[in-house]
Structure 1
Amino acid sequence: MTEMEYGRRRQPLRLRDRNVAWVPPLLLLVGIVLLDLNTTERFRIITWIVLVPGSAAAICGVWTTAAFAVLAVMTYIGVDSAWPGQYQAGLGDFVLVALGGLMATIASGVRVRKEQQTLHILDIAETTRRTVLRPLPPRWAGLEQAGVYLAADVEARVGGDFYDIQPGPHGTRVLVGDVQGKGLGAVETAAALLGTFREAGYHEKDLATVAERLEIRMLRHRSHTTALGRDDGDRFATAVLIAFPEDAPDTIEIVNFGHEAPLAVGPRGVRELPSGDGLPLGLADLVGGVPPVRRVPLAADETLLLVTDGVTEARDRTGTFYPLAREIAPAGADLTGAEPGGTGPGALVRRVRDGVLRHSGGRLGDDTTAFAVRRIRAAEGEEREEGRLRS
């Protein structure tokens, strides 16, 4: 990564999209010079010019810092020479300014290198996140969707929350989940479950079989990590597996692995769908099998909202949990007019995201995911196709 590329990525002090990081050191230099020239010989501060490259090292690139170091030395010579010999700061202070500029340039190089390494790590984290949470088209396989993911550690960008949509010959399936724990181990588990979902969700006719495949994959993954000698062999994951049958446009099928109950949001308000009594993935052997498949109604004008516990367990300063159902209760009325055809997924997840951040004051205790999805009604599809043809 070149210094120019680094500067664009780091986004230093900017004004109207122009880099102005050089302005504070320059103003400091001018101020020191003017003050030195307009005070008496008892208040010589030209040596303070060593602060100029020092301040540049904190906010500017290496070459800019080096330029300020040279400028500081030249300015020191010029200003100090303007005083009578008995009042000049002398060679000792000159060495101090020169040495200070050199050290500032070295410090700037070290800082830039560390920040480049950090950007590289963040790039890797972003690539990992996109590999696990692949980008989804806003309208795909008969569904309109929107999702938002907020990492508790803003620098990490990756965690154990996951969601995906998988169309197939037996209808479209949706999976939303949350792996217990954090770090790369949680990311690996999420990737394993998503890989199985994408294959089983496409090939298997029965949703119960897809659920069994996910449970088996979780057990196999735990067995593998245990064999490697890692201490996360007891990891589990909560999840909601949903099917949108093509032959039943007003119903959905749900398998809930101990996850937060999905919410149906529409013009008539918010209702909680049955959560079931299932245990998380990896714990089915405690109850003798995976949770049952439940078929529940979902009206054409309702949007399905699924969240992880980072939403429902977000707290304010007094320790009060975020009241999700109450906060989105007006959404049916408020958002119906915002997006034609009903409560839009995009507006709904934005409402949840903004509400959680406002309620918690931006202090997230856990990774936070909100995922909303609804069927695309035939009338909407026809209207959009007509608009496309006219344009």
Structure 2
Amino acid sequence: MVRGGGNRTGDEERRARRDQMSSWGRPLARWLPALLIVGGVLFDVVTPPQYTAAPFLSAAPLVAAPLYSLRATAGTALAAVVTEVLLATYHGAEDYYQSATEAVTVVVVALMALGINRVVRRSDARLASVRDVSEAAQRAVLPTPPDTLAGLAVAARYVGARAGARIGGDLHAVQDTPHGVRMIVGDVRGKGLEAVEAAVVVVGAFREAAEQETTLEAVASRLERAIEREGGRRTGLDQDEGFTTAVLAEVPAGNQSVLRILNRGHPSPLLLTPDGGLRELPPSAAALPLGLGDVAGWPDHADETFFPAGALLMLFTDGVTEARDRAGRFYDPCARLRGSQFSGPGDLLDVVVEDVARHTRGGPADDMALLAVQRPLEA
């Protein structure tokens, strides 16, 4: 069971502990090449002459290659070669050919380490550049929402997949409208720039429709038409297979105790109460994702439920529920969050993101978009 922090200080403490744990491993790894050289010398000195330190000395520059700069890797390689020559001199020339073979082995491996270092550094630079562009594009598509809207506390998070720097089509948006606070979380089929283009269309259509349409059903219809129109106009988007799973939610103006949900093939939102209770909000009738109106037609229907004072509503994409651990078990937010208490929507989303990272031992294999709103406690 996950426990939420009592205030924002709890978030800072969790991040500090995580940074501290990761900071312990980095110095140990960076000292490993030196430890291999020192350990090789000790091994060579205390063991019989037929045993050699060459494996230790060869491993040192290889370990340094992905960790160090080119200059530091070259220094490690030079130290390994010089150490091998000094050890050969120390033992004398009883077996010249063996000593020469060991020295040549260390030299060859050292040169390989320099080549590996160059490849790793160039790959890191390219990946960092792509990630910077991806993050900039994602921020442009999904700007950070304000902390409060019409009295509701709001928070959003976007976590990119660990598998690479490709931009995903996960999206979230929330805004205060004449009809209440309306929000959407969705997942566009596909990856890359085509998915981002589709996400831009969905978010743009939502922001316009949320202001103009009087019902969530009408908002969903506008999104449906926008996706179909965009699919017919863009050759990069497959009109027959392009779709977006989405969940729309609304807290009506003047009545924050009411919550309306319209789900189009998306993971069900969660409602968390201040006493640690948790309730899933599945749709009363299943519906296909947005963009598949030609496959089947049906009247959209928004389900209405009670929104208790102090309760948290969390919407999220399937990057959360499809995150797997090493045994292949899916992440279950209901089981992990039930019984927990949170100080606000930001605390809730931080806990979920960190818990998914622990579950997967590093991060999700798919992008995650999360949005949470909290109704204030009544005075």
TM-score, reference length from structure 1: 0.72
Residue type matched to 1:373 in 2?
V
1:55 paired to 2:55: no
Question: Structure 2 vs 1, CA of residues 217 and 326 (structure 1 numbering), >3 Å: closer, same or farther?
Answer: same
| CA shift for structure 1 position 141 | 4.2
Question: Structure 2 vs 1, CA of residues 378 and 66 (structure 1 numbering), >3 Å: closer, same or farther?
Answer: same
1:75 paired to 2:83: yes
Residue type matched to 1:345 in 2?
P
Deviations 1:130-179 (A, max 9, x none): 33332233334432123455556543474333221122454322112233
Which residue of the partner structure matches residue 375 of structure 1? 375
Residue pair 1:349, 1:370 contacting (<8 A) in 2 also: yes
1:189 paired to 2:198: yes
| CA shift for structure 1 position 39 | 5.0
Matches within 5 A, 1:254-333: 254-267=261-274, 269-271=277-279, 273=281, 275-277=283-285, 278-285=287-294, 291-293=300-302, 296-311=305-320, 325=334, 328-331=337-340
Give secondary structure in 1 for the equivalent of 2:272. strand
Which residue of the partner structure matches residue 198 of structure 1? 207
Which residue of the partner structure matches residue 345 of structure 2? 345
| CA shift for structure 1 position 63 | 1.0
Specify which of 23, 26, 30 is matched with residue 31 of structure 2.
Answer: 23
Deviations 1:54-85 (A, max 9, x none): 33224322111101222233333433334445
Give secondary structure in 2 for the equivalent of 1:197. helix
CA distance in 2, matches of 1:30, 1:120: 38
Which residue of the partner structure matches residue 6 of structure 2? none
Which residue of the partner structure matches residue 3 of structure 1? none
Give secondary structure in 2 for the equivalent of 1:284. coil
1:234 paired to 2:241: yes
Which residue of the partner structure matches residue 112 of structure 2? 103
Residue type matched to 1:251 in 2?
V
Which residue of the partner structure matches residue 251 of structure 1? 258
CA distance in 2, matches of 1:158, 1:111: 22
Specify which of 138, 153, 161 is matched with residue 147 of structure 2.
Answer: 138
Question: Structure 2 vs 1, CA of residues 24 and 238 (structure 1 numbering), >3 Å: closer, same or farther?
Answer: closer
Deviations 1:252-293 (A, max 9, x none): 444333434444332574455572544421133555566145
Question: Structure 2 vs 1, CA of residues 60 and 221 (structure 1 numbering), >3 Å: closer, same or farther?
Answer: same
What is the percent sequence identity of the aligned residues?
A: 37
Q: Number of aligned residue pairs: give it.
A: 357
1:65 paired to 2:73: yes
Question: Structure 2 vs 1, CA of residues 376 and 82 (structure 1 numbering), >3 Å: closer, same or farther?
Answer: same
Question: Structure 2 vs 1, CA of residues 265 and 17 (structure 1 numbering), >3 Å: closer, same or farther?
Answer: closer
Question: Structure 2 vs 1, CA of residues 309 and 73 (structure 1 numbering), >3 Å: closer, same or farther?
Answer: closer
Question: Structure 2 vs 1, CA of residues 14 and 85 (structure 1 numbering), >3 Å: closer, same or farther?
Answer: farther
The more displaced of 121-130 and 260-269 is 260-269
CA distance in 1, matches of 2:230, 2:323: 30
Give secondary structure in 1 for the equivalent of 2:271. strand
| CA shift for structure 1 position 303 | 2.3
CA distance in 1, matches of 2:101, 2:338: 73
Question: Structure 2 vs 1, CA of residues 330 and 84 (structure 1 numbering), >3 Å: closer, same or farther?
Answer: closer
Residue type matched to 1:78 in 2?
L
- Determine which structure has more spread, i.e. the larger CA radius of gyration: 1
Residue type matched to 1:371 in 2?
L
Question: How large is the RMSD of aligned CA atoms in angstroms?
Answer: 4.1
Residue pair 1:168, 1:201 contacting (<8 A) in 2 also: yes
Which residue of the partner structure matches residue 41 of structure 2? 33
Residue pair 1:262, 1:275 contacting (<8 A) in 2 also: no
Residue pair 2:162, 2:363 contacting (<8 A) in 1 also: no
Give secondary structure in 2 for the equivalent of 1:78. helix
CA distance in 2, matches of 1:327, 1:233: 37
Residue pair 2:178, 2:253 contacting (<8 A) in 1 also: no
The more displaced of 147-156 and 74-83 is 147-156
CA distance in 2, matches of 1:295, 1:34: 73
Give secondary structure in 2 for the equivalent of 1:160. strand
CA distance in 2, matches of 1:79, 1:154: 44
Residue pair 2:145, 2:156 contacting (<8 A) in 1 also: no
Which residue of the partner structure matches residue 122 of structure 1? 131
Question: Structure 2 vs 1, CA of residues 63 and 298 (structure 1 numbering), >3 Å: closer, same or farther?
Answer: same
The more displaced of 188-197 and 164-173 is 164-173
Q: Which runs of 5+ in 2 are unaligned?
A: 1-18
The more displaced of 60-69 and 312-321 is 312-321
CA distance in 1, matches of 2:233, 2:81: 63
Residue type matched to 2:182 in 1?
R
